Amino acid sequence: MVSMTRRERLTAIFHGRTPDRPAVKVWGAGSRQDPCIHPAFEPVRDRAVDMTDLFRHTGSPFNLYCGRFASQLVDSRIEPTEDPAWELRITTYHTPEGDLQEVFRASTCRRPGYIREHLLKEPADIRRLLSMPYEPHPFDASPHWRLDRELGDAGLPVFSLDHAMYGLQRLMGSESLALWSLEAEDLLLEAMELFSHRLQAHAQAAIDAGIRGVFGWVGPELCIPPLMPPSAFERYVFQLDAPLITRIHQAGGRVWVHAHGRMRAVLQRFADMGIDVLNPIEPPPMGDISLAEAFDTVQGRMGLEGNIETHDLMTASAPELQDKIRQALDAGRGQRFILCPSSGYMENVDPTPAEIRNWLLYIDAGVRYAEALRD
């Protein structure tokens, strides 16, 4: 097979064709101008930009809850805590039926934070959220076209969309979503269906602006076992996402979706709803299906991306990592496959020299072995 450019290779995978070889991706790497949280990551960024198949995300202003009124109806403030390493970021939604407040405990030194107080604390709060007026932002396609030109043959721009289920879940947390799915499902579905219509309108605005490439979103992982049963995935993901995917496909676009976790129970349904590439297909033990089994399950109807755990890039020996890379690429040979770690390359704010060496090894060994598999 004739050698493809990086854009041609990714386009083939999204459009259901077998590429010249598996693609190799570093999640989060797109430009040499991207800031790094630690200088040690700069060589990784630069080598990824030069050698790997690039995805870069773009979009147009969008707020799922109150659209262009967000600047008027949502405000935030920061309060110190007794520990200077932490602060409270307090967000208030001013709704016609009363204020809603979220409190996030945030690190001042680049550590992970956590939600201390969810915005939605009881089912009635969903009704308050839905009382907010909504009008979409004016659509702006210029960032997409600018990024498309910048990428050239090096990769693909991905037009980012929010997600109906995830847009509600992140305001209440997984525990409340599970409980309220039993106690107040009609209210959950009312909100998700409303959000789905807003997302379809936003996607249509992109289509009307001439965008026909890859559309992408995250979130379905919050509605798969063990967090939620497959029946909830059907109601809150499949039935709401399928019309959006159909709209994108009818316009000639393609769909990329991110969903961590145990895919065995829902992998077939991702393919059934029309996803073109699913990320990150984690190997056991984080996942519950091998890459070979996953390809056998989807039967060419969906491209698969991933199969390298970020934890291995942080901790594995060089021979162990090379073996994992080789195994994944062997399984993806002749398939619609993108080798990719399970998260971005800057997850660790204090990277070790061994971690940086592993990231550089991943790029070098991944591209070199993928080239050796060229059909």
Q: Is 348 exposed, middle or buried (0-12, 13-18, 19+ CB in 10 A)?
A: middle
Assess if residue 128 is contained within a domain: no
Considering the domain architecture, whether residues 217 and 300 belong to the same structural domain is answered as yes
Assess if residue 131 is contained within a domain: no
Pairing of the two strands 74-80 and 86-95? antiparallel
Considering the domain architecture, whether residues 170 and 51 belong to the same structural domain is answered as yes
Helix %, strand %, coil % for the chain, to 5? Answer: 45, 20, 35
Considering the domain architecture, whether residues 78 and 147 belong to the same structural domain is answered as no
Q: Which pLDDT score is estimated for 374?
A: 85
Assess if residue 1 is contained within a domain: no
pLDDT digits (tens, 9 = 90+) for 217-227: 999 999 999 99
Considering the domain architecture, whether residues 111 and 161 belong to the same structural domain is answered as no
Considering the domain architecture, whether residues 257 and 292 belong to the same structural domain is answered as yes
Q: Which two tokens stand for residue 332?
A: 């993806």
Considering the domain architecture, whether residues 28 and 84 belong to the same structural domain is answered as no
Assess if residue 127 is contained within a domain: no
Q: Which pLDDT score is estimated for 1?
A: 67
Q: Which residue ranges of the chain lie beneath pLDDT 70?
A: 1, 375
Considering the domain architecture, whether residues 78 and 173 belong to the same structural domain is answered as no
Backbone angles phi, psi at 291, to 5 degrees: -65, -40
Q: The domain spanning residue 267 has which CATH number?
A: 3.20.20.210
Q: Find the domain containing 79 and state its range.
A: 72-120
pLDDT digits (tens, 9 = 90+) for 232-263: 999 999 999 999 999 999 999 999 999 999 99
Q: Which pLDDT score is estimated for 375?
A: 64
**Domain count for the chain:** 2
Sign of the Cα torsion 207, 209, 214, 218 reads negative
Considering the domain architecture, whether residues 291 and 237 belong to the same structural domain is answered as yes
Considering the domain architecture, whether residues 43 and 80 belong to the same structural domain is answered as no
Assess if residue 300 is contained within a domain: yes
Assess if residue 126 is contained within a domain: no
Considering the domain architecture, whether residues 278 and 367 belong to the same structural domain is answered as yes
Considering the domain architecture, whether residues 184 and 238 belong to the same structural domain is answered as yes
Q: Which pLDDT score is estimated for 179?
A: 96
Considering the domain architecture, whether residues 12 and 48 belong to the same structural domain is answered as yes
Assess if residue 125 is contained within a domain: no
Assess if residue 278 is contained within a domain: yes
Check residue 108 and give left, alpha or beta (phi > 0: left; psi -120 to 50: alpha). alpha
Cα gap 27→282, rounded to integer Å = 14
DSSP conformational letter for 357? H
